[in-house]
């Protein structure tokens, strides 16, 4: 089976996993926005925002290192997995000690639920780690099973606790923790991860631990500054406009997350493929060929979501949350460029040049902080979205240029510019609710679909076997 077919197979398997984990979150949005106030929903989003920052920092991005080194060094898998688990355990202890910090006003009341937050952190850390171990061990088939069961537990728990028992935000925290804990148990037992837990294997393996840290540590500041670029707006919004406004922005972000859902499916499979293929001389061509359909799916997908954004909002955003629908296209364009950033970021993780990944992220995040602080007072929530677009655009351009020193990736700049311009026009007319905006949106969608569809034909030929690699 050639690498393109393998990639497609893994995309399918990871697709089941991602749909199971992410789609339920999407489908639960109407429940959350109906039974939780804007303030409570803002707190739930704040918890996710804080965990996305704290987890990679407290754990030193060890889960990413474990995935990379389990694949690369089959002889030391026990040492890699065991060391990673120790670091995860230490990170949970560190977070427990730092819980009083959540009492600060900038966290919008999250400190009132610090115990629930710790439970959520532990469950997320363990599930993330176990999933990366499974990916590294090539246990791809077990991942959708764990994800499906975990998601089912989360959904059922949310309904029973929030709807039936009426315990609101506490029910949210319990439900989103219960599912991952069950999933982790399944990974451990069914995937037999316990066989890889061995403290003895760490004895005398200092060089391995050092190499893992050299790989992982640059990812920590990268994650910090990436978080600044993608999540700091929540704190600016909370501080300048209130936790209720943060809840509205969070709700508006749920629908654009459909694009992230599609990309996360691809990214999981793509990362595995690049790790397995990176020593081959044609890695540059591999990147170039995959970039074509990726741009097509992301561009056409973004246009389509913008086109139906108001319709989706009428179903997903209940009560006062519906007014946030015009934010959707603005947030969506930021997500679009973020996905492309991640693709180019894979160049650095594949070639173990993580310090270059960090550099580009730092510059972009600083731009975001400055832009967010300057634009929110002028444009309100739209300013936060615009700052995110600017941040990701800067990172996108820097990585696209900088990565040329490592891998030669062919880019059709004409198609790229036309796509971005058309998406920008569609974003503005949709956000402004221009009369008959959907008519213009349909025309833009059709143009983008035709333009990118034609470019995907060569890869389709490779997949069906008309060309062999």
Sign of CA dihedral 95, 51, 225, 374: negative
Res 187: pLDDT: 92
Res 79: pLDDT: 86
pLDDT digit string, tens, across residues 58-93? 998 888 888 888 877 666 788 888 888 999 999 999
Taking Cα atoms as reference points, which of 170, 188, 174, 197 lies closest to residue 80? 197
Res 365: pLDDT: 85
Taking Cα atoms as reference points, which of 176, 151, 396, 140 lies closest to residue 291? 396
Res 469: pLDDT: 45
Is residue 318 predicted with pLDDT exceeding 70?
no
Please tell me the least confidently modeled range out of 32-46, 266-280, 296-310, 439-453.
266-280
pLDDT band at 17 (very low <50, low <70, confident <90, very high): low
In the structure encoding, which two tokens stand for residue 349, read together? 């993780």
SS3 104: coil
Choice between 414 and 324, residue whose per-residue pLDDT is larger: 414
Res 467: pLDDT: 45
pLDDT digit string, tens, across residues 260-297? 777 877 887 787 778 777 766 577 888 888 888 889 98
pLDDT digit string, tens, across residues 421-440? 999 999 999 988 888 888 99
273 contacts 350 by C-beta, under 8 angstroms: no
Q: With pLDDT > 70 as the criterion, what percentage of the chain qualifies?
A: 89
| Mean pLDDT (the chain, rounded) | 84
243-254 helix and 328-350 helix, angle to the nearest 10 degrees: 70
Res 214: pLDDT: 81
pLDDT band at 360 (very low <50, low <70, confident <90, very high): confident
Most confident of 247-261, 282-296, 318-332, 381-395: 381-395
Nearest-angstrom CA–CA distance, 225 and 366: 8
Res 122: pLDDT: 96
Q: With pLDDT > 90 as the criterion, what percentage of the chain qualifies?
A: 26
Nearest-angstrom CA–CA distance, 135 and 147: 13
Taking Cα atoms as reference points, which of 367, 364, 425, 452 lies closest to residue 400? 364
Taking Cα atoms as reference points, which of 113, 395, 84, 346 lies closest to residue 230? 395
pLDDT digit string, tens, across residues 450-462? 998 887 776 666 5
Res 418: pLDDT: 94
Nearest-angstrom CA–CA distance, 119 and 116: 5
Taking Cα atoms as reference points, which of 164, 139, 219, 172 lies closest to residue 33? 172
Question: Quick count: other Cβ atoms within 10 Å of Cβ 417?
Answer: 10
- The mean pLDDT value for 46-55 works out to 87
Q: Which residues contact 241 (CB under 8 A, 6 or more apart)?
A: 376, 380, 381
Taking Cα atoms as reference points, which of 441, 455, 447 lies closest to residue 305? 441
- The mean pLDDT value for 358-375 works out to 88
Query: Where do runs of H (alpha helix) occur along 74-195?
Result: 77-97, 114-136, 142-158, 168-190
Is residue 466 predicted with pLDDT exceeding 60?
no
Nearest-angstrom CA–CA distance, 228 and 224: 6
Instruction: Give me the torsion for CA of 417, 423, 429, 432, rounded to 10°.
Output: -110
In the structure encoding, which two tokens stand for residue 119, read together? 């439970």
Nearest-angstrom CA–CA distance, 19 and 148: 9
């Amino acid at each position: 089976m050639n690498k393109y077919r393998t990639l497609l197979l893994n995309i399918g398997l990871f697709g089941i996993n991602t749909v199971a984990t992410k789609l339920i979150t999407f489908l639960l949005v109407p429940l959350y926005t109906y039974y939780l106030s804007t303030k409570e929903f803002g707190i739930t989003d704040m918890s996710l925002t804080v965990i996305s920052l704290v987890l990679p920092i407290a754990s030193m991005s060890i889960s990413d290192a474990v995935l990379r080194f389990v694949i690369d060094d089959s002889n030391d898998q026990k040492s890699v997995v065991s060391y990673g688990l120790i670091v995860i355990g230490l990170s949970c202890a560190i977070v427990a000690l730092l819980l009083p910090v959540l009492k600060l006003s900038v966290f919008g009341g999250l400190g009132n639920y610090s115990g629930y937050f710790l439970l959520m952190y532990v469950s997320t850390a363990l599930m993330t780690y176990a999933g990366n171990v499974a990916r590294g061990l090539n246990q791809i088939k077990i991942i959708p099973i764990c994800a499906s069961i975990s998601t089912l537990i989360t959904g059922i728990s949310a309904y029973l606790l929030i709807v039936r028992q009426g315990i609101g935000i506490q029910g949210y925290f319990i439900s989103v923790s219960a599912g991952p804990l069950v999933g982790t148990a399944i990974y451990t037992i069914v995937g037999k991860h316990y066989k890889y837990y061995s403290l003895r294997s760490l004895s005398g393996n200092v060089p391995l631990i050092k190499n893992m840290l050299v790989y992982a540590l640059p990812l920590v500041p990268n994650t910090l500054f990436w978080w600044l670029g993608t999540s700091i707006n929540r704190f600016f919004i909370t501080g300048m406009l209130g936790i209720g406004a943060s809840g509205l922005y969070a709700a508006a972000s749920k629908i654009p997350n459909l694009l992230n859902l599609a990309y996360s499916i691809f990214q999981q499979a793509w990362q595995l493929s690049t790790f397995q293929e990176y020593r081959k001389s044609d890695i540059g061509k591999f990147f170039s060929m995959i970039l074509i359909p990726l741009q097509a799916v992301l561009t056409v997908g973004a246009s389509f979501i913008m086109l139906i954004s108001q319709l989706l909002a009428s179903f997903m955003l209940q009560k006062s949350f519906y007014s946030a629908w015009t934010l959707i296209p603005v947030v969506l364009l930021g997500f679009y460029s973020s996905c492309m950033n991640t693709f180019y970021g894979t160049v650095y993780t594949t070639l173990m040049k993580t310090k270059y990944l960090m550099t580009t992220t730092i510059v972009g995040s600083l731009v975001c902080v400055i832009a967010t602080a300057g634009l929110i007072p002028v444009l309100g929530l739209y300013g936060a979205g615009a700052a995110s677009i600017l941040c990701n655009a800067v990172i996108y351009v820097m990585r696209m240029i900088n990565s040329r020193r490592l891998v030669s990736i062919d880019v059709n700049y004409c198609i790229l510019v036309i796509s971005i311009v058309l998406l920008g026009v569609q974003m503005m007319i949709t956000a402004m609710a221009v009369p008959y905006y959907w008519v213009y949106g349909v025309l833009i969608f059709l143009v983008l679909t035709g333009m990118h569809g034609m470019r995907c034909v060569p890869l389709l030929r490779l997949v069906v076997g008309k060309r062999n690699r």
